[in-house]
Structure 1
Amino acid sequence: MSRELRLRIVSGIVLAIVVLAATWYGGVAFRALSALIALLIYSEWSTITRLPSQDFRGNALGWLAIASIAANILFGSEDYAIPLLGGFTITAMLFAGLRKSGTWWLPGGVFYAGLSGISLAAIRADDAVGLVAMLFVFAVVWATDILAYFVGRALKGPKLAPRISPGKTWSGAIGGTVSGVAAGTAVAFAHFPGTGLWIVFVAFLLSVSSQIGDLFESFIKRRFGVKDSGKIIPGHGGVMDRVDGLVFACFAAFLLAVWHSMLNNGILTSVGAFLLGLGL
């Protein structure tokens, strides 16, 4: 086993322990983790897209937006997170559009990083249902990621998106999706046996979303000629490299819950309960 592989395995285990511990404790611990992820994602995003050199003042506004959202995640209520995100994103868009040196990567970074923290915190929330819902999302995303890699290497076949990520294949994508649905369904059924086919649909949606998130980050890195989003995680690269699929799955879960609430009473009471099909 090479030194690099050992480093990758050890840092991966440590990272998993930290994330799962914060998930188990919930409350301030998980909200702090969500806020930190939002800040780190924006830091890496702005570095990759060269925002400081392209639009220094705009990037400062972006940092103000993300810092406000992170503070709201940690100390505020999820009820205020959506208008904060929307307001700061619109402000960033206007600022970027009015300045000749403005770039649309600025509002994109605010939206991507901000929604990452908000959706993670909203899914976990502070109750037992939120814990199961978060573990369900982890199971889907991690099983999808791991099995897509091994199935793709074993079966090979046609490329999924050769211009974006040459290593990914359709066999890996399908294998990862099947594995993600199976793992997520098993976690949900172990705690709530009556969830029915709804959980299969949600697991499928999250698995596909996580793979889209992986491709999206690959597109950004290829667009700017970057190998890794950062160097903060030994052997793995940056935070975006590790959470690209997870945050897209959380986006899908959170936005689906918001859309469902808008069609009904307009009040989003529990993202976790919605994901697990409780009370639908």
Structure 2
Amino acid sequence: MSNLATRVWSGVVLGTVFIAVTIAGGTPFVIFITLIAAIFWVEWTDMKMPGSDDRLQAVGILALVGLAVVILFVPPAAKTILLLAVLAAFAAAAVGLRDRRAIAGFIYAALLLTSLGLLRGDWGFQPGLVAIIFLIAVVWATDIGAYFVGRRVGGPKLAPRISPNKTISGALGGLASAVAGALVVHVLFGVSSAWAAIGLALFLSVLSQAGDLFESWIKRRAGVKDSGRVIPGHGGVMDRVDGLVFAAIGLWFACVLRAGMDHPAHAFF
């Protein structure tokens, strides 16, 4: 099978699974995102801390499972305290294993799990479903717009030392495409207002592109082309969700600031 065919088939399978668990919400969604976060964490430690204690990866995975349990079963009033307690417990374990560098990577993976898990919510929670659809639409539109506009227009580089192929024109194309994608979701599913959709799209598009650059910087410093090989034809999980992580965290924080921890997606969706 050619590399292109492998990429297409693995993309179709992953996309189908993601759509199914996103519609389901609740436990299936959190389990899937926990798996993604765990692979993300392992890839981070392999890149940033090659040769580190294997127990550190195991502790991180157990802590992510603990976060998933808190997200699924703990009442909103106690959720924040217990989420912070899990993070503190991992930090203490990392210090005990003499590898404080792991703390940043774990927080990165934990925020991916927490933001997506709390945004989606349970089965039947329509605002959570729309929030995830909006997020994915903006991130994908950003990637597609940046790629095609950058190739077509070219011009000055955005960050040549980090990612030589990215251009300023591509970044602007990504912003424009993100707004278009957000407005489509607004019309089809409803966001609080068109202006809110536009504002969120611009905010999340910037974060998505920043996440892409950040992951490129991490890989460049580690001297690797891909974060892993877990996805046939695509590389690692970090390669596929780099922009999504930053955007998901940003959307979650924006929603929490406006609507609180209970049902944050109510803020805009």
* TM-score in same-fold range (> 0.5): yes
Q: 1:32 to 1:92 in 2, by over 3 A?
A: closer
2: CA distance, partners of 1:85 / 1:110: 13
**Residue 186 in 1 paired to residue 179 in 2?**
no
Q: Of the candidates 155, 160, 163, which is equivalent to residue 162 of structure 1? A: 160
Give 3-state SS (helix, strand or coil) of 1:226's partner.
coil
Identify the range of structure 1 (10-19 vs 172-181) with the bigger mean alpha-carbon deviation.
10-19
> 1:91-110: per-residue Cα shift (whole Å, max 9, x none)?
444555677x5342x01111
Asked whether the equivalents of residues 140 and 184 of structure 1 are also in contact (C-alpha less than 8 Å), the reply is yes
**Residue 17 in 1 paired to residue 16 in 2?**
yes
Q: 1:102 to 1:180 in 2, by over 3 A?
A: same
2: CA distance, partners of 1:20 / 1:209: 23
Give 3-state SS (helix, strand or coil) of 1:54's partner.
coil
Unaligned runs of 5+ in 2: none
2: CA distance, partners of 1:196 / 1:84: 36
Listed as ranges, the matches of 1:93-132 within 5 Å are: 93=91, 96=94, 101-104=98-101, 106-126=102-122, 127-132=125-130
Asked whether the equivalents of residues 162 and 217 of structure 2 are also in contact (C-alpha less than 8 Å), the reply is yes
Unaligned runs of 5+ in 1: 262-266
Asked whether the equivalents of residues 186 and 194 of structure 2 are also in contact (C-alpha less than 8 Å), the reply is no
Root-mean-square deviation (Å): 2.3
2: CA distance, partners of 1:77 / 1:170: 45
Counterpart residue number, 1:63: 61
Q: 1:31 to 1:61 in 2, by over 3 A?
A: closer
2: CA distance, partners of 1:22 / 1:58: 29
Give the partner amino acid of 2:35. Answer: L
- Give the Å deviation of 1:71: 3.5
Q: 1:57 to 1:152 in 2, by over 3 A?
A: same
Counterpart residue number, 1:36: 35
- Give the Å deviation of 1:270: 2.1
Asked whether the equivalents of residues 73 and 117 of structure 1 are also in contact (C-alpha less than 8 Å), the reply is no
Asked whether the equivalents of residues 192 and 268 of structure 2 are also in contact (C-alpha less than 8 Å), the reply is no
> 1:141-174: per-residue Cα shift (whole Å, max 9, x none)?
0111112111111111111111111111111111
Percent of pairs identical after alignment?
44
Asked whether the equivalents of residues 255 and 266 of structure 2 are also in contact (C-alpha less than 8 Å), the reply is no
1: CA distance, partners of 2:56 / 2:9: 38
2: CA distance, partners of 1:16 / 1:31: 16
- Give the Å deviation of 1:203: 1.2
Give the partner amino acid of 1:62. Answer: G
**Residue 272 in 1 paired to residue 265 in 2?**
yes
2: CA distance, partners of 1:44 / 1:85: 23
